[in-house]
Amino acid sequence: MRPTGTIVCTAAGAALLAGVFFLGARVGRAQTDHRVFEIRTYTCYEGRLPALEARFRDHTIDIFNRHGMTSIGYWVPQDAPRSQDTLMYILAHPSREAAKKHWEEFQADPEWQKVKADSEASGKIVSKVESVFADPTDFSPIK
């Protein structure tokens, strides 16, 4: 059983994640007048998922907000082994170009640099980051 307050993947959240990814990601799709979604998956070193969850809960999301990144949702898989080492989340950006600028500003943010260093004082947290940009379909309830 996961401790109270941790991020829990729900059936609705999993459906949203799958829907945005599989229905929205199209190779060569033209940029339109809607925001772009970034689907990110972090794989943690063994035993480090709670530290990543705490970093997001206590710091990262606030810093994202300051840099124009809109959090759509955060999930942890229900099934082992990924339930022990994986955090998935979706951000929205006004455009792909804005996303690039947001990430550059985020990485250069002195508060983020301190939070990252402090949270990794006892070792690195994330071993792998995957990022996929996706456009919503014309029938997607989220745009």
Residues 71-93: pLDDT tens digits?
Answer: 999 999 999 999 999 999 999 99
pLDDT at 44 exceeding the cut of 90? yes
Span 21-34, pLDDT tens digits: 444 433 344 445 67
16, part of any domain = yes
pLDDT of 143 reads 86
Read off the CATH number of the domain in which 103 is found.
3.30.70.100
For residue 94, give its domain range.
11-134
pLDDT at 94 exceeding the cut of 80? yes
139, part of any domain = no
Mean pLDDT to the nearest integer, 108-129: 97
What is the Cα–Cα distance from 143 to 19, expressed in whole angstroms? 12
How many domains does the chain fold into? 1
Phi, psi of 34 (to 5 degrees): -110, 165
Helix (H, G, I), strand (E, B) or coil at 103: helix
30, part of any domain = yes
Residues ≥6 apart with Cβ < 8 Å to 61: 71
Mean pLDDT to the nearest integer, 34-58: 97
28-37, 63-72, 93-102: which has the minimum mean pLDDT? 28-37
User: What is this structure's pTM?
Assistant: 0.77
C-alpha distances (whole Å) from 85 to each of 28, 118, 126 are 32, 20, 9
2, part of any domain = no
142, part of any domain = no
36, part of any domain = yes
pLDDT at 96 exceeding the cut of 60? yes
